[in-house]
Structure 1
Amino acid sequence: MTAAAPRHSRRGILIPFIIVGLLLAAWTGWWFYLTRQIEVRLAAQVETLRQDGWDIRHGPVTTTGWPFRARVEVPLFHAVSPAGHGVDALELVAEANAYNPDKWVVIAPRGLTLDRAGKGKVAITGGGARFSISHLRDRFRDVRAELIRPIFTPHQGAEPFPLASAERVEFYSRPHLTDGQQSTDQMDVLFVLTDGRGRPGGPVAGAAQQGELSLRLEAVIGEASRLSAGEDAGVFADWTRAGGDFTGVLGEVKAGETRALLRSDRLYARPDGRLQGQLTVAAEKPLAAIAGLAGSNSGAVDQAGAVGAAAATAPSGDRPLDLTIRFEGGRTWLGPFALAPAPKLF
C-alpha cells in the first residue's frame, strides 16, 4: 500500500495577501478620513472669511486622488476681499501628498481674472498659474506663486494694466532666519519679473525703450504678523499702522539698454498707502530709460518732471551713474524732478 503524499498548507501563501489587504484597507480608511477633513476645514475657512467680509462663491467641491494623493477640484471660484481686490477662476485644482499633507500646490488650468479695487478687472491667460504653500504648522508659511508666460488683458472699461505679457512672474515668501533660527516677526520676500513687455504707450514700454523689462527685488518685511487680508483698506493697512517696513531692500533692473542695481536700508508706507523712503541706484545708461518714460503717454507719468530728469542725466552719456530715487509726499522723485506717483501698497 502506497503512503499518501503529505498535503501542504496553503495558509503560508495566503498570509502575505491578507497582510496587504489589511494595509490597503487601513490606508483607504485614512485616505477617506483625510479627504473628509480637508473638505470640512475648507468649508470652515470659507465661512470664517465670509464673516470677515469676504465675498466667496464656488461650485461643488470634489475630492479624488486615491491612493497616494489628495486632489481637490473647485469650479467657478470667486473671491473678493473687503478691500475690493479679488480673483475669479473657472477652475482651481489643489493637490497634496496623502502621506504628508503639509504642502499644497494649487493651479488654475484655465487662467485667472484679477479684480483690482477701483481699477477694474484684468484677465490672465498663457502658460499657467501655479501657487504652493508649505510648512502649514509654522507661524509663517513658505509661499510660492508663479505665472508662466502670462498675457494680461484688461476688461472693457478697466484701467490699463502696466504689462501686456511676460515670460515669467514669480513671488516667494518665507520666515526670515537670524543665526539659523526663525525671527519672531519678520518674513523674507522675493519678486521676480522676467522679460516683461509693457502695453503700447505705457510707462513700462517707455522705460524699456519698447524692449523688455526684467526685475528682481528682495526685502525683509518687519511686523509681518500684522499683514491682514481681512482689512477693509487692504493687506498692508494694519501693518502700516503697526510700523511695518521693508528693510534690506536689494534689487536688479534691466530695462532695454538700461541696467541698474537698487538698494535701500528702509522703506515704509504713508497712511495713504504710498511708499516712503529712498533708493540708491547704480545705473548704466539711465538716460535711455528716463527719456523713454518721458515719451510715454501714460497719465501717471509727470511728463515735465521726466523731461527735466532726462535733461539732467544727459551729460553723463553712457557712463555709469549713481542716483537717488526718493518716495516722498506721495510722489517719486529723482533729484528735484517728480517722475510719477509713488508706488501704492493699499
Structure 2
Amino acid sequence: MPSPSDPISMPQPPGPRKPLRLGLWGPFVIAGIAVIGWSLAWGLAAREVDRRLEAGVRSLAAQGVSVEWSAKRLYGYPFRLNLDLTDLRVATGGTSVRIPRLETQAFLHAPRSWLAAAPEGLTFQRPQGGGVEVQGQRLLASLVAPKSGPPRLSLEGLKLTFSPAPGARPFALASAGRLEFHVRPGPDDQAALFLRLEDGAPTPGRLLADLGGGGAVSAAVDARLDHASALRGAGTAPALAAWGAKGGRLELREAGVTAGPARLSLASPGLKAGPEGRLEGRLSVTAAKAPSLLVTLARHGVLSPVEAAGGMAAVLMGKSGGDDVRLDLDLFGGQVRLAG
C-alpha cells in the first residue's frame, strides 16, 4: 500500500492518432477511376467507328461501289472522334470521286453526327465528260446516321472553282459563290431534296453561258423522292433503273434557274425512271425570253430543230405581246420533246 508521500500516478491519455489519408487521396482515386472509365469508353467508341467504317465499305462493295484509301488515322481523345482518310477514292459505274485528304469529326457523346471537310479539294470523274477538279474556300459535309432509317446529309461549298482535267470537256460552271445540297429523310420511305446555287459563273461556250449571255447563274430546287431506299446500285443509271422498278417517283415541287436575263421555272407532278435509268415524264417549263431559249436549246442539241420550231409556234400563238411562255416537255428515252 503506497504511503501518502508517494506520488500518485495518473493514467496517461492515449497519444494522438495519425490523421486518416482517405480524405486526402479519395478525390484522386475517384478521378483516376473516372479517367480509366472515360479512356475505356473512348477506346470502345473508336473501335466501333472503325468497325462501322469497314462494314460500310463491304456493304457498298456489294452494291458495286468501290471505296479505297491509302492511309487512315483515328484520334481525338478525350472528347472527340477524329477520322482522317488520305487519298480517298470512291468509284461506281464510270463515275468516281477522289479526295486527297478527308477530315471528319464527331463528339464522343454524339458518335452518329459527323462533320467532314476536304481542305485540299476534290476531283470527280464524269462518265462521258472526263474529270473536273473542284477547289474552294470551304468544302464541308455533315452526316447524321440514326439507328434506323436513311441518314440526313448536307453538302456545302463556298467560292468554288471547277477546272476540267487535261483532255476533259469543260464543265457547265467555271466557278460558284455558294453551292448547297441537302437530303432530309421523311416518312414512308420518302426523302426531301434541296439544292441552291448562288453567283455561278458559266463556262464560255456552254449552254448556261449562251442561255444567259454570260451572266451570273443561280438555281434552287425543292423536290421529293419516293421509295428512297431503292435508289442504290453501281452507277447512276443502274441506281435509277432499280429505283424506277420499285415504283420510284420524283416530284419537283419548285425549281428555278436564272442565267443573266433568262429565267426558267420548272415543275413536275412526278418523274420516274425507265429500264435504262433515264428520267421520264412531263416537265412544265415557264420561261422568260422563250424565243431565245428555244434557239439556244436547239443549238446545243437539247431540242431538235423541229421541236424548237414547234415551240416557237406555240409562243407566237399563245401570246400577243411579250415573250414569256409556258411549255410542256416530255422526257423519254434520254430525249426532250415538246408535248403535243
Global fold match (TM > 0.5): yes
Deviates more, 1:234-243 or 1:106-115: 234-243
Paired letter, 1:213: V
Change (3 A) 1:91 1:303: farther
Residue 132 of structure 2 corresponds to: 122
Match of 2:44 in 1: 33
- Structure 1 pair 209–250 and aligned structure 2 pair: CA distance change class (3 A): same
Describe how 1:259-338 pairs up with structure 2 within 5 A.
259-287=263-291, 289-290=293-294, 293=297, 298=300, 302=304, 305-306=307-308, 309=311, 313=315, 318=322, 320-334=324-338
| Residues 1:17 and 1:256: Cα distance change in structure 2 (over 3 Å) | same
Same amino acid, percent of matched pairs:
31
Tell me which moved more, 44-53 or 22-31: 44-53
The answer to whether structure 1 residue 200 and structure 2 residue 204 are counterparts is yes
Q: Are 2:65 and 1:61 aligned?
A: no
Against the structure 1 CA distance between its residues 317 and 196, is the aligned structure 2 distance closer, same or farther, given a 3 Å change threshold?
farther
- Alignment map for 1:1-346 (pairs within 5 Å): 9=20, 11-81=22-92, 83-176=93-186, 183-230=187-234, 233-287=237-291, 289-290=293-294, 293=297, 298=300, 302=304, 305-306=307-308, 309=311, 313=315, 318=322, 320-334=324-338
Q: CA deviation at 1:43?
A: 2.4
Conservation of the 8 A alpha-carbon contact between 2:310 and 2:338: no
Mapped contact 1:249–1:266 kept (Cα < 8 A):
no
The answer on whether the counterparts of 1:262 and 1:282 sit within 8 Å (CA) in structure 2 is yes
Structure 1 residues 29 and 126, CA gap change in structure 2 (3 angstroms): same
How many angstroms apart in 1 are the aligned matches of 2:236 and 2:249? Answer: 20
Any conservation in 1 of the 2:75–2:83 contact (CA below 8 Å)? yes
Q: CA contact under 8 A between 1:256 and 1:289: conserved in structure 2?
A: no
8 Å contact from structure 2 (residues 253, 267) kept in 1? yes
Q: Distance in 2 between matches of 1:299 and 1:61?
A: 45
Q: Per the alignment, do residues 259 and 4 of structure 1 end up closer, same or farther by CA in structure 2, a change over 3 Å counting?
A: farther
Unaligned runs of 5+ in 2: 1-13
| Structure 1 residue matching 2:84: 3-state secondary structure | strand
Q: Is the 8 A contact 1:203 1:301 kept in 2?
A: no
TM-score normalised per structure 1: 0.82
CA RMSD of aligned residues (A): 2.9
Displacement of 1:316 after TM fit?
A: 6.1
Structure 2 contact 172–202 (Cα < 8 Å) conserved: yes
Amino acid in structure 1 at the alignment position of 2:139: A
Question: Within 1, Cα distance between the matches of 2:59 and 2:270?
Answer: 35
Residue 78 of structure 1 aligns with an amino acid whose one-letter code is R
Letter aligned with residue 276 of structure 2: D
What amino acid is aligned across from residue 65 of structure 1 in structure 2? Answer: G
- Larger radius of gyration, structure 1 or 2? 2
What letter matches 1:17 in structure 2? Answer: F
Letter in 2 for 1:158: A
Q: Distance in 2 between matches of 1:66 and 1:165?
A: 38
Is the alpha carbon distance of 1:231 and 1:88 closer, same or farther for their aligned partners in structure 2, counting shifts above 3 Å? closer
Residue-by-residue CA offset, 1:247-270 (whole Å, 9 max, x unaligned): 253212222123343322111223
